[in-house]
Amino acid sequence: MIKTRVVVVDDSALVRSLLAAIINGQSDMECVGTAADPLIAREMIRALNPDVITLDVEMPRMDGLDFLGKLMRLRPTPVVMVSTLTERGADVTLRALELGAIDFVAKPKVGVADGLRLLADDITDKVRAASMAQMRRAAAPGVAKAGDTPAAPVSATVNAIGRLSTEKIVFIGASTGGTEATREVLMNLPPDCPAVLITQHMPAGFTKSYAARLDGLCRIRVAEARDGERILPGHAYIAPGGTAHLSVERSGANYIVRLVEGEPVNRHRPSVEVLFKSAARVAGPNAVGIMLTGMGADGAAAMKEMRDAGAHNLVQDEASCVVFGMPKEAIAAGAAHEVLPLAQIAPRLIERLRSNAGVSHSRVQA
């Protein structure tokens, strides 16, 4: 077996030792080196050419984000961030994802040894996902990247959806790579679009900062979902990370947010499966499903239920995914009506809502 080769970068000797032991405890991966700061890591990466890097944020001699930005421009390598679970840590981690990090692990503030051991499965799953990620060289400073700003055709049609906005509801599921994919979709939606419900696999403590970050970038309002609130057009609601499953209920003529603190589903809480099942049950033909990049199969079966209930489903294509796991499984389940590059999903959604078409345009790829 060819093992995934990992370099661990962290200023804590204890964390380096623990992460190395967790990685070396897996049959399909090995820690080939550890570094206490980015300057040591830079030489180690050149010498060892690892498949994946785990990276702390706050380190001596060079900030982790500065190092990440240089790495993604000069030598794109899958990176899993290891960040302390604080409000600032959440903001910094989200910035790291914008710079090109694949995923992140919330490092505990106290009880680090026991905490990391409890996170061993999560850490190794994310290293595996990162090892399969499609890397793209980051743009140089000052150079715009695709998705940084709303596309011109969309901004020109900001009031084009109109009366459909109260009849339809959009459901998005995403995991690895999904924070940036979701950002691109939401940034290209007009302020009068239908309500959007989002389940993104994230740990507790990060979705509030993520929602606030998106709210400052998008023309629609974005917030962490609250149990019992009325779902309104022009708003997006993000499932609270790590604490509850997000679903939709009907109360008379209104859609209502429901948060349930149940057991993990498909190893996830929140789970895309739970959200999409509620979409099939409650919204039926008024639902539009969107499956974005992610590891695993969470939500694939429920997305097929959405299709069977009359929903129209858009799935991100392999070429634009960071990890083509959840979209691939949704396609295999027969859930997809259209398989599209990420940049085309928001424009196609708007086109679909404007036309109120009732049939698929047969864009599913083999």
Q: Are residues 225 and 125 in the same domain?
A: no
213 lies in the same domain as 340: yes
Domain span at residue 174? Answer: 152-355
Mean pLDDT of 336-350: 97
CB 83 within 8 A of CB 107: yes
Q: Is residue 136 part of a domain?
A: no
pLDDT of residue 277 exceeding 50, the answer is yes
- Per-residue pLDDT at 233: 94
245 an active-site residue?
Answer: no
Number of domains into which the chain is organized: 2
**Is residue 366, in this structure, part of any structural domain at all?**
no
The CATH number linked to 13 is 3.40.50.2300
> Do 237 and 285 lie in a common domain?
yes
User: CATH number, domain at 295?
Assistant: 3.40.50.180
Asked whether residue 47 falls in the same domain as residue 176, the answer is: no
Q: Indicate the range of 180-189, 240-249, 315-324, 354-363 predicted with least confidence.
A: 354-363
Q: What is the pLDDT of residue 61?
A: 86
Q: Are 84 and 127 within one domain?
A: yes
Is residue 76 located within the same domain as residue 199? no
Name every residue whose Cβ is closer than 8 Å to that of residue 302 and which is 6 or more positions away in sequence: 272, 273, 274, 275, 276, 277, 279, 280
Residue 160 lies in a domain: yes
Question: Is 141 inside a domain boundary?
Answer: no
Please confirm, yes or no, whether 251 is among the known catalytic residues: no
pLDDT, residue 160, reads 52
Q: Residues 175, 271, 278, 320: which is the catalytic one?
A: 175
- How confident is the prediction for the chain on average, in pLDDT? 88
Task: Write down the catalytic residue from 298, 312, 317, 337.
Answer: 298
- 194 and 305 housed in the same domain: yes
- Among 100-114, 221-235, 281-295, 317-331, name the one with the lowest average pLDDT: 100-114
* 140 in a structural domain: no
Is the pLDDT at 147 greater than 60, yes or no?
Answer: no
Structure confidence at residue 364 as a pLDDT band (50, 70, 90): very low
Residue 362 clears pLDDT 50, i.e. is over it: no
Q: Is 337 an annotated catalytic residue?
A: no
Let me know whether 293 and 330 are in one domain.
yes
195 shares a domain with 342: yes
Give the model's confidence band at 136: pLDDT under 50 very low, under 70 low, under 90 confident, else very high.
Answer: low
Across the range 332-359, mean pLDDT stands at 88
- Residue finishing a domain among 73, 99, 131: 131
pLDDT digits 0-9 by tens, 228-250: 999 999 999 999 999 999 999 99
Same domain, 89 and 196: no
Q: Do 308 and 196 lie in a common domain?
A: yes
